[in-house]
Structure 1
Amino acid sequence: MFKRITLFLATNLAVLVLLGIIMNVVLPMFGIQLGNNGALLVMAALFGFGGSFVSLMLSKWMAKRSTGAHVIQQPANEMEQWLFTTVQRQAQAAGIGMPEVAIYDAPEINAFATGANRNNALVAVSTGLLRAMDRDQAEAVLAHEVSHVANGDMVTMALLQGVLNTFVIVLARVVGRAIDGYLSGGRNEGPGLAYFAIVFVLDMIFGLFASMIAMWFSRHREFRADAGGATLAGREKMIAALERLKINHGENTLPKQVAAFGISGAIGHGLKKLLLSHPPLDVRIEALRNASLDGNAVRQGVVA
């Protein structure tokens, strides 16, 4: 789990550092200066939101390739027919377009949803889930994933990540400029090696805080998806599914692009909890037991 988090953070920080090199080294070589904060904000937004939305547009394709998911075109057996029919019924109840339905080979109990919009999504379940869960539990898991789609969680996460990326890029360079100016005694000699070193460190620090914010929101929307799953499939089925997930012991082999949208999350303690995409299962179960469920909650994306 720690290795997965480290890889996730390293990837995001590498992107931020690359953007910093482009804005502070490459663009000035062509006479493009970003000393003005307005210009910096525009460029940061282009880079920050650009990466998020490219990932969103490619999310289904990347998910299929990275998991080796088999999309059910024509159900080949009774299990595939049940999966397809169940998702179709739930999608109609949630007021969204029919998602693609897929199965991917993985030992843990898991499922995920992804896609660029509510009417062009993908819902996939693991072979481990199909082996370990009964039909009622599996129905609840599918309802949880359909609720993610109905709530527009994929688009919301992309927007949030774009805002956070922009914030990190701008703040690191504004603060870096101020620190560099203070250390140089106010001499206006342009950015030097010290400035780039300061910005590099600030990218990592602010990037870490941005990841914490993104994961906080990810945990929040899991409660909404659980409640949406309970609305579509039934509260007791959803609780039974979460109880069954405990045998996973925090295992989650989904690639990072879709890990936050799986129903099963990793386990963490102390500061690691701030970087988890899912709340603890016991907390989710307790919240579901105490929730007041609204029949229109999934369509509206709101749980009372």
Structure 2
Amino acid sequence: MFKRIALFLATNLAVLALLSIVMSILGVNAGSGAGLLIMAAVFGFGGSLISLLMSKFVAKRATGAYVIEQPRNEAERWLVETVQRQAAAAGIGMPEVAIYDAPEINAFATGANRNNALVAVSTGLLRNLDRDEAEAVLGHEVSHVANGDMVTMALLQGVLNTFVIVLARVVGRIIDGYLSGGRSSGGGIGYFVTVFVLDMVFGLFASMIAMWFSRRREFRADAGGAALAGRGKMIAALEKLSLNHGENTLPKQVAAFGISGAIGHGLRKLLLSHPPLEERIAALRSAPEESLRAGLAA
């Protein structure tokens, strides 16, 4: 846990330092309207895109995943061959296949390029799922890659980050000017307090939007997994996920692309990356065959 937190903080500090250097080199003055927009875009998109480019490295380090280069046993050979077959069916390059140590039934996919991604499964998944169920989970993750979900989420987060930065500072200048009777143009205490508060408030709403989109992508990845492995196998795999009881030890950077998500009630549901399991299962049971095929962008 402490290793993951340290890695997360170090990554974000490195991103902020790099973006600050870029802003300094470009000579961008955030005080002007154009400068504010450029600054917001640099920080809004820069952080999410850098995180995307580093996602495979960070995921491997955060989870301690072992990448299968030469299968050591029959189980590893089956994993590699299954992903290879599904990747070919989905029309993407062969991802790296890895195993990481975690007690819950889970798997994730990440990577900035659909032809150079990573698919990893937990040891808990290997212990608790049979081959048919594990095949469906792998299909779910391959679908995330084929659908370009990692890139799409990074771009969406960049747009949301940019809007949060701009809106918080525009409103901050307006309130600061009002409180100072027009004597301040954004350098007073009212500005900094307002920006601090609105960064959190607008950031919360932005997270709700991002998580809503993530939940929609999860339904599509379930459909893609059903198209690759079979509807019955995908439903059986989702039913087995109830054994996790909401446990998810994946780091934040890849949690949205795992097969399993946390459990939430009330307003907390708005911040979850995954829909409830019963909704996912019901959607698969009622989906026509053509919508399952549409869940996989070849």
Q: TM-score, normalised by structure 2?
A: 0.90
Letter in 2 for 1:291: A
Asked if 1:264 corresponds to 2:260, the answer is yes
Q: What is the match of residue 96 of structure 1?
A: 92
In structure 2, C-alpha distance between the alignment counterparts of 1:198 and 1:224, rounded to whole Å = 39
**Alpha carbons 1:227, 1:293 under 8 Å: kept:** no
Q: What is the match of residue 167 of structure 2?
A: 171
Q: After superposition, what is the alpha-carbon deviation per residue over 1:172-214, rounded to whole angstroms, capped at 9, x for unaligned?
A: 0001111111111222455112211111111011011111111
Q: Percent identity?
A: 77
Q: What is the match of residue 158 of structure 1?
A: 154
Q: What is the match of residue 3 of structure 1?
A: none
SS in 1 for 2:29: coil
How do 1:137-286 and structure 2 match up within 5 A? 137-188=133-184, 190-286=186-282
Aligned with 1:51 (options 24, 47, 52):
47
Letter in 2 for 1:173: R
Asked if 1:297 corresponds to 2:281, the answer is no
Letter in 1 for 2:138: L
CA gap of 1:32–1:73, structure 2 versus 1, over 3 A, is closer
SS in 2 for 1:238: helix
> What's the CA shift for 1:139?
0.2
CA gap of 1:186–1:98, structure 2 versus 1, over 3 A, is same
In structure 2, C-alpha distance between the alignment counterparts of 1:35 and 1:270, rounded to whole Å = 40
SS in 2 for 1:33: coil
> What's the CA shift for 1:243?
0.4
SS in 1 for 2:121: strand
**Alpha carbons 2:224, 2:293 under 8 Å: kept:** no
Letter in 1 for 2:130: D
Letter in 1 for 2:158: G
In structure 1, C-alpha distance between the alignment counterparts of 2:126 and 2:29, rounded to whole Å = 56
Residue ranges of structure 1 left out of the alignment (5+ in a row)? 1-6
RMSD after superposition: 2.3
How do 1:117-156 and structure 2 match up within 5 A? 117-156=113-152
In structure 2, C-alpha distance between the alignment counterparts of 1:99 and 1:190, rounded to whole Å = 49
Letter in 1 for 2:231: R
In structure 2, C-alpha distance between the alignment counterparts of 1:283 and 1:253, rounded to whole Å = 22
Asked if 1:33 corresponds to 2:34, the answer is no
> What's the CA shift for 1:293?
3.0
Q: What is the match of residue 74 of structure 1?
A: 70
Q: TM-score, normalised by structure 1?
A: 0.88
In structure 1, C-alpha distance between the alignment counterparts of 2:192 and 2:289, rounded to whole Å = 52
SS in 2 for 1:52: helix
> What's the CA shift for 1:298?
4.7
Residue ranges of structure 2 left out of the alignment (5+ in a row)? none
**Alpha carbons 2:248, 2:261 under 8 Å: kept:** yes
> What's the CA shift for 1:35?
3.2
Task: Say which is worse superposed, 57-66 or 187-196, in terms of deviation.
Answer: 187-196
**Alpha carbons 1:227, 1:288 under 8 Å: kept:** yes
Letter in 2 for 1:284: R
Q: What is the match of residue 4 of structure 1?
A: none
Letter in 2 for 1:121: A
Corresponding pairs, count: 283
SS in 2 for 1:279: coil
